């Protein structure tokens, strides 16, 4: 079982070092209380329909929590940028619907070192078939590379008809199978 507090502390420390440099932590304690809340809406199933991404560490932590608690994810639309970290879930936790797509690019917004750390984290957490696809297109860059449903559906099982909640909403939607 994953110790999420330890993972969160490690990720925060790595990000602080990457963004601020090694001296940022000199003589300072990293407090778990300063980490993002673990209480975000995390049902047992979610549908990703239009997610343009965000902060890599937030998506990484959510992906690790979902991996640990068995949350199922239905890809039903666009999943871009940090959202693609959800592809790192176990194959038994994911399914794909027609119209789903994935957009990949290099992380940006932190220092160049922070961006490299974020990119390495993402690449380590993608399954092999995703890493191979990215490499076959020249690797991650500043421009979006889009993986279509046609390609992804070769590796992710199709969704069935059981119920799934949209992330952030209590509504129930048709979904995972």
- What is the per-residue pLDDT across 51-99, written as a single tens digit (0 to 9) for each? 999 999 999 999 999 999 999 999 999 999 999 999 999 999 999 999 9
pTM for the model = 0.69
Give pLDDT tens digits for 90-128.
Answer: 999 999 999 999 999 999 877 889 899 999 999 999 999
Picking from 112, 110, 154, the residue whose alpha carbon sits closest to that of residue 129 is 154
Q: Which residues of 115-143 are buried (b: 16+ CB within 10 A; e: fewer)?
A: bebbbebbeebbbeebeebbeeeeebeee
């Amino acid at each position: 079982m994953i110790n999420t507090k330890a993972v969160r502390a490690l990720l925060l420390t790595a990000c602080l070092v990457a963004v601020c440099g090694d001296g940022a932590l000199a003589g300072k304690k990293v407090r778990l209380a300063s980490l993002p809340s673990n209480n975000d809406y995390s049902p047992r199933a979610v549908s990703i329909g239009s997610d343009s991404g965000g902060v890599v560490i937030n998506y990484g932590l959510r992906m690790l929590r979902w991996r640990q608690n068995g949350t199922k994810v239905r890809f039903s639309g666009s999943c871009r940028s940090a959202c693609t970290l959800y592809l790192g879930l176990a194959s038994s936790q994911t399914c794909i619907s027609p119209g789903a797509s994935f957009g990949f690019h290099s992380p940006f917004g932190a220092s160049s070192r922070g961006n490299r750390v974020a990119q390495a984290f993402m690449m380590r957490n993608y399954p092999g078939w995703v890493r191979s696809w990215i490499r076959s297109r020249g690797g991650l860059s500043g421009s979006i590379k889009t993986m279509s449903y046609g390609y992804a559906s070769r590796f992710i099982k199709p969704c069935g008809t059981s119920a799934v909640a949209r992330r952030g909403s209590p509504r129930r939607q048709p979904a995972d199978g």
